[in-house]
Amino acid sequence: MDNRRQIILDTETTGLYPNAAENPDRLIEFAGLEMRNRSFTDEKLHLYVHPQRDIPAEAAAVHGITLDKLEGKPVFAEVAQQIADFIRGAELVIHNAKFDVGFLDAEFARLGMPGVEDLGCTITDTLAMARERYPGQKNNLDALCNRLGVDRSRRVLHGALIDCELLGGVYLAMTRGQFSLTDAFEQEDDDTPQTTAPQPADHLPRPVGVKLKVLAADSEERAAHEAFLDQIDKSCGGTSIYRADAGSAQQ
C-alpha cells in the first residue's frame, strides 16, 4: 500500500514576477490538501495572506481577490513557519510547479528560510505529466477536468482551495493506470503462493512486495478465443500471427 504523504498544492498571487527588482509580486493565497493512499485526509492548510503591496486589476479579475478582502489578514512572515511545517518532507503535487515553487521560494528567501526542496519536499508537476500524455493539446486545469471527467462546475474564478480539489481529481485520473491492478488484486496474506506473470519491457515496474492474482481462462473462454482466431485466419487467408506465436512458444 502506498502511504506517501502527498500535498496537493496551489497558490494565488498578485502577478507573475516574484523576483522583480522593484515591487515584486507576492503570494496572497495558499492552499494544501493532504493525500494518503490516493485519498484526501482531513489535514489541510488554507491561508489568505496580505501582500504588503497593491493587487493589479488584471490579477484580481482572475482570482477575485482584492486588497480590501485581505484587510486584517496576516503577512507572509506571520504564516511562513506554518506553511513550512505543513509541507516539510512531502511530495508536492502542483500544476505548473515552477510558478508556485518559485513564489514560495522567493517568500521564504526574504525571511532567510530554507526553500521548498531544502525542506525535503519532492515535486510532481501535473502540467509536465499532461504535456507528455496529451502533446499538442490544451493542458490547463479546466481542459484536463473536461478531458478526464472531473466536475468543475463549482469553479467560477481561480481559487487556491477549489483548484487543489480539482487538481486532486485530475492527478488521480492521470495516474489511475499505475495503481489499478495493484489496488484490485493486492492480497493481504503475505504467505499466499504467488504466480508471477511476465511483464513487457515498457510496463511500469511492479511495486515491491505486491502480489497479483493470475486468473486462467476457463474452457468456455478458450473456445471463444479459438473461434475468434478462426475468423482471423479466414479473413487473412492463412495462419494468424497469434497462432504462429503460440506455436513458437510451445516448441
The beta-carbon contacts of 41-47 under 8 Å, at least 24 apart in sequence, are: 45/82, 45/83, 45/86, 46/160, 46/161, 47/74, 47/79, 47/82, 47/83
What are the cell numbers at 11? Answer: 497558490
| φ/ψ (deg, to 5) at 34 | -80, 140
What are the cell numbers at 221? Answer: 473462454
Q: Which residues are catalytic?
A: 158
Beta-bridged to residue 13, according to DSSP, are: 27
The reported pLDDT for the residue numbered 246 is 55
Nearest to 26 by CA among 14, 44, 35, 38: 14
The reported pLDDT for the residue numbered 235 is 58
CA distance 26 to 43: 25
Total-model pTM: 0.70
Q: Are 46 and 30 in contact (CB under 8 A)?
A: yes
In one-letter notation, the amino acid at residue 202 is: D
Chain-centroid distance of CA 16 in Å reads 23
User: Mean pLDDT in each 10-residue stretch from start to end of the chain (251 residues)?
Assistant: 86 97 97 96 97 96 95 98 98 98 98 98 98 96 94 77 94 79 44 41 45 69 73 64 55 49
Q: Half-sphere exposure (CA, 13 Å, Cβ side) for 70? A: 26
- Helix (H) or strand (E) segment spanning residue 129: helix 126-133
What SS3 state is found at 34?
Answer: strand
The reported pLDDT for the residue numbered 247 is 52
The reported pLDDT for the residue numbered 217 is 78
